[in-house]
């Protein structure tokens, strides 16, 4: 999440209910003194419910009615889009357009979203009945897809102890908004070695079944691989990881560590992959093994 935050990118969190995905995003916003907005996606949610809409109101000074834009919950620094795949494509597209352009148009007026503006969307991997899977072009707008697993025995014991022993304390603020903006501006300026840049491009290209270097697992199970946005995202995310680790430049190891989170949701698998039980993570790991 910190990699996505510093990269000014959006992240898709995948996990079953009850893993504190909402609490995680809300706590991050609190620790960084950012405004937080939550949108619970449902089948009857409309685009205006997210972006806001023009409302007609009385203007006492002019003695007539006028239109006023009422901002939606998307006008915050960190947005939690809860179960994004439970709302129709039209509403999904409204959010994803705002993610790409960082602004909202209502009528003929364009409204800029706050800076920073980042979306952490969640998707439930179970109970797929009545859902609307995100199209590949929209998934490509997420910098990372992060799979949230179950906690370990020790972690779950600590969770049970803390959450049943009274009210949880608020997270202390560790950064201001201005300090966060400065960190985000630093990330693109971080140098990247030629080896790391070459690795990022080769990893993205090798996920394409028509590439000469594609391994057999790709040619057999992948219909479409990652586009140029995949290699761009891989380099940018690797820069954020290097900065978090205090490194002076991006090394190949930074690229390899983030390959799965950056590339897995950019692959379109064939029906044969589903029949054989081959997952996107298996494909990316196969690509990592083939690219040295």
In a domain, 155, yes or no: yes
In a domain, 183, yes or no: no
pLDDT at 127 (0 to 100)? 63
Which residue range forms the structural domain that includes residue 244?
190-292
Nearest alpha carbon to residue 11 among 1, 19, 20, 21: 1
β-bridge mates for residue 269, sequence order? 222
Q: What is the pLDDT along the chain (292 residues), one digit of tens a residue?
A: 899 999 999 999 998 888 888 888 888 988 988 889 888 888 888 888 888 887 877 777 776 777 777 888 899 999 998 888 888 888 888 888 788 888 888 777 888 889 889 999 988 777 666 577 787 878 888 999 999 889 999 999 998 998 888 777 888 888 888 999 999 999 999 999 999 999 999 999 999 999 888 899 989 999 998 989 999 999 999 999 999 999 989 999 999 999 999 999 999 999 999 899 999 999 999 999 988 8
Q: And the tokens for 25?
A: 């995003």
| Shared domain check, 249 and 147 | no
pLDDT at 245 (0 to 100)? 93
Q: And the tokens for 60?
A: 């006492």
| Shared domain check, 230 and 152 | no
- The domain boundary residue, chosen from 117, 144, 175: 175
Q: What is the CATH number of the domain that holds 57?
A: 3.40.50.300
Model-level pTM? 0.87
In a domain, 232, yes or no: yes
| Shared domain check, 70 and 210 | no
Cα Rg for the chain, rounded, in angstroms?
A: 21
- Phi and psi of 116, rounded to 5°? -80, 160
| Shared domain check, 159 and 197 | no
Q: What is the CATH number of the domain that holds 240?
A: 1.10.8.80
Alpha-carbon distance 26 to 106, whole Å? 28
| Shared domain check, 158 and 55 | yes
pLDDT at 96 (0 to 100)? 81
| Shared domain check, 203 and 160 | no
| Shared domain check, 106 and 230 | no
Alpha-carbon distance 157 to 254, whole Å? 32
In a domain, 15, yes or no: yes
| Shared domain check, 158 and 46 | yes
| Shared domain check, 157 and 15 | yes
In a domain, 274, yes or no: yes
| Shared domain check, 56 and 9 | yes
| Shared domain check, 198 and 164 | no
- The domain boundary residue, chosen from 109, 142, 175: 175
Can you tell me whether residue 244 is helix, strand or coil? helix
User: Which residue carries 């795949």 as its tokens?
Assistant: 85
pLDDT at 144 (0 to 100)? 93
In a domain, 36, yes or no: yes
- The H or E element containing residue 4 is helix 2-6
Alpha-carbon distance 101 to 117, whole Å? 10
In a domain, 210, yes or no: yes
In the chain, the number of structural domains is: 2
- The domain boundary residue, chosen from 175, 209, 228: 175
In a domain, 270, yes or no: yes
| Shared domain check, 278 and 143 | no
């Amino acid at each position: 999440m910190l990699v996505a935050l510093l990269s000014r990118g959006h992240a898709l969190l995948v996990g079953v209910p009850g893993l504190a995905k909402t609490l995680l995003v809300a706590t991050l916003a609190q620790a960084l003194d950012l405004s937080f907005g939550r949108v619970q996606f449902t089948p009857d949610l409309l685009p205006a419910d997210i972006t806001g809409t023009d409302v007609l109101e009385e203007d006492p000074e002019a003695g007539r009615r006028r239109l006023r834009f009422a901002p939606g919950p998307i006008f915050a620094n960190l947005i939690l889009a809860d179960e994004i795949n439970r709302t129709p494509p039209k509403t999904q597209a409204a959010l994803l357009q705002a993610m790409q352009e960082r602004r909202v148009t209502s009528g003929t007026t364009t409204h800029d979203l706050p800076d920073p503006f980042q979306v952490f969307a969640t998707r439930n991997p179970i109970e797929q009945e009545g859902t609307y899977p995100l199209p590949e072009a929209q998934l490509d707008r997420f910098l990372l897809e992060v799979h949230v697993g179950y906690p370990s025995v020790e972690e779950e014991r600590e969770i049970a102890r803390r959450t049943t022993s009274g009210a949880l304390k608020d997270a202390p603020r560790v950064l201001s908004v201005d300090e966060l903006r400065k960190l985000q501006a630093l990330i693109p300026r971080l140098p990247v070695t030629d080896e790391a840049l070459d690795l990022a491009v080769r990893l993205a290209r090798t996920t394409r079944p028509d590439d000469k270097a594609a391994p057999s697992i790709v040619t057999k199970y992948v219909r479409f691989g990652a586009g140029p946005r995949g290699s761009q995202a891989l380099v940018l995310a690797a820069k954020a990881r290097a900065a978090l680790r205090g490194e002076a430049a991006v090394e190949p190891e930074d690229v390899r560590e983030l390959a799965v989170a950056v590339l897995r949701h950019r692959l379109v698998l064939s029906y044969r992959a589903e029949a054989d039980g081959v997952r996107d993570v298996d494909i990316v790991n196969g690509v990592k093994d083939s690219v040295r």
